[in-house]
Amino acid sequence: MPKYYQEAAAAGAKLLCFPESFSYVGANLGDSVKIAEPLDGPIMQGYCSLARESQIWLSLGGFQEKASDDSHLRNTHVIVDDTGKIRSKYSKIHLFDVDVPGGMVYKESSFTEAGKDVVAVDSPCGRLGLTVCYDLRFPEMYECLRFHHQAQVLLVPSAFTKITGQAHWEILLRARAIESQCYVIAAAQAGRHNDKRESYGDSLIIDPWGTIVGRLPDKLSTGIAVADINFSYIESVRMKMPIDQQRKPINFWKASSI
Ligand SMILES: O=C(O)CNC(=O)[C@H](CS)NC(=O)CCC(=O)C(=O)O
């Protein structure tokens, strides 16, 4: 078993979360289309075997899944159970088409087929809400996962850019945990991958009050962070501040003028 599976197993982990593009980061955007595979291909099946051998559930965020044509992939977050069975999959809805201030221009939609459906799934670590990276900037998706799909743990595997990550990564993650009253687990790519690509972010585990309970510093690049998911703490935060019952319908589109 690989080193980090052993460490996770020794720590008693029931779920191991990987970052976006966990199995491959290309030098140029779009390179990953060439290595994209279906979920029953050798790469994903290899991870399924590791889940079975280690008896740990896996969150494999940002797998380069082969799409319906050869010039596109789907950026898919796959949940594998401890017997090696794929339990759920979610394809990234919000694609990173962004001119990063002082950085590169990204156009993820040029090689990625966007997903359409919001997905949650039960696990030994609670009900998981599946998202990927840039989704983090669209809070209504997290609201939907929490208040419509009853998520308890929100997963945000990512490969944030250095510039946007330094400015926004931690604060956005803490905000999602606080406003949804969920645990947030955000596995991050970190460090320099090659001449052209660099990612940023501490891998973080945040509790439903917004406290950081697990951190793997960006500077270490590899390793694991471990934390407990405390279900009674989720209940207590939600009971004392019952925002789910206090939510009022807001007419989004009706602006009033003086
Ligand atoms: O294509 C790959 O190799 C890996 N995928 C990514 O790097 C993706 C799409 S280009 N990156 C993001 O979504 C960054 C979001 C971000 O940085 C922000 O929201 O600020």
The dihedral region occupied by 201, where left means phi > 0, alpha psi between -120 and 50, and beta the remainder, is left
Q: Taking a C-beta distance cutoff of 8 angstroms, is the pair 46, 88 a contact? A: no
Fold of 3-245: Nitrilase/N-carbamoyl-D-aminoacid amidohydrolase (3.60.110)
Share of the chain above pLDDT 90, in %: 91
Question: Where do the domains of the chain lie?
Answer: 3-245
Ligand 1 pocket test target in 18, 108, 162, 193 with most atoms within 8 Å of CB: 108
Ligand 1 atom at minimum distance from 24 CA: 3
With a cut of 80, say whether residue 159 has pLDDT above it. yes
Band (47; pLDDT cuts 50, 70, 90)? very high
Summarised one tens digit per residue, pLDDT across range 99-125 is 999 999 999 999 999 999 999 999 999
pLDDT score of 185: 98
Q: Kindly name the residue from 65, 89, 92, 113 that is annotated as catalytic.
A: 92
CA distance linking residue 212 with residue 204, whole number of Å: 7
Would the CA dihedral through 195, 204, 10, 16 be positive or negative?
negative
Q: Is 20 a catalytic residue?
A: yes
With a cut of 70, say whether residue 258 has pLDDT above it. no
Ligand 1 pocket test target in 160, 164, 171, 176 with most atoms within 8 Å of CB: 160
With a cut of 70, say whether residue 160 has pLDDT above it. yes
Query: What's the first-to-final CA gap in the chain, in angstroms?
Result: 66
Q: Could you say which DSSP state residue 29 is in?
A: T
pLDDT score of 6: 95
With a cut of 70, say whether residue 93 has pLDDT above it. yes
Rounded distance from Cα 96 to ligand 1 centre (Å):
6
ipTM value, please give it: 0.94
Mean pLDDT is lowest, of 136-140, 196-200, 227-231, for: 196-200
Summarised one tens digit per residue, pLDDT across range 177-208 is 999 999 999 999 999 998 888 999 999 999 99
Q: Which residue has the tokens 């290595």?
A: 35
Rounded distance from Cα 236 to ligand 1 centre (Å):
35
pTM: 0.96
Strands 15-18 and 212-216: unpaired
Q: Taking a C-beta distance cutoff of 8 angstroms, is the pair 90, 132 a contact? A: yes
